[in-house]
Amino acid sequence: MQKLTRPAPAVTPFVEARFSKLLAKPLIVSGQLEYTGAEQLARTVTSPFKERTEIRDMTVTVLREGRSPRRFSLKRAPELRTLLDSFAAILGGDRSRVEKEFDLDLQGDDAAWTLVMTPKQSRIQQRIRSITVTGATDEPRCLVTAEPDGNATIMLLAQAAATTLPDSPQRAWFEDFCRGSRN
């Protein structure tokens, strides 16, 4: 956990693939994640569209090119609040705070490690089955959010985000990549 600590501000490039039974093919976006301090995260999508989502002081603001800003309170999305708190705790190196919301299973060594976070609360379990972070040394490689219905979001982080994707990337390709089977 200590190796995931990042002093604010921290910026990380990402490529994210959303796999859903409702989609004929995965939705793939890229951009950067920003951690600007406790309870402040931002996700900027630069391709294939432009969008910025900011979380600050219990408010989520979504800014999408060509549209009016949308805002909502984290009080309306308690599961998002839990995720925000947990990610802020991870980046801040506060393991005990993460363990309040998730059971943790850390395996591996510096060369290759896996952290599986399983929600403790039933309201979170209804939306998220697990969050798995894989990496090596102090750099996360992938963040996989698995949902109870089989849908998943797989995010390539940091250097992994620079990987050239296949023409038609499938979920198995991303899963193999995250396990380190593909470089």
**Domain architecture of the chain: domains with CATH:** 2-160 (2.50.20.10)
> Mean pLDDT, the chain, as a whole number?
88
pLDDT value at 138 more than 60 = yes
Angstrom distance (rounded) from CA 42 to CA 174: 24
pLDDT value at 100 more than 60 = yes
Query: Per residue in 34-54, pLDDT tens?
Result: 888 767 889 999 999 999 999
pLDDT value at 182 more than 60 = no
Q: What is the largest CA-CA distance in the chain?
A: 46
DSSP 68-122: --EEEEGGG-HHHHHHHHHHHHHHHT-HHHHHHHEEEEEEEETTEEEEEEEE-SH
> Residue 6 — pLDDT band, cuts 50, 70, 90?
confident
Share of the chain above pLDDT 70, in %: 96
- Among the ranges given (23-32, 47-56, 61-70, 81-90), the one the predictor scored with the smallest mean pLDDT: 81-90
For residue 171, the surrounding DSSP H or E stretch is helix 171-179
pLDDT value at 1 more than 80 = no
Average pLDDT of the residues in 101-107: 92
Average pLDDT of the residues in 149-153: 95
What pLDDT is recorded for position 183?
Answer: 53
* Among 107, 120, 115, 150, CA closest to 131: 115
Q: Which has more confidence, 183 or 171? A: 171
pLDDT value at 135 more than 80 = yes
> Would you say the pTM of this structure is higher than 0.75?
yes
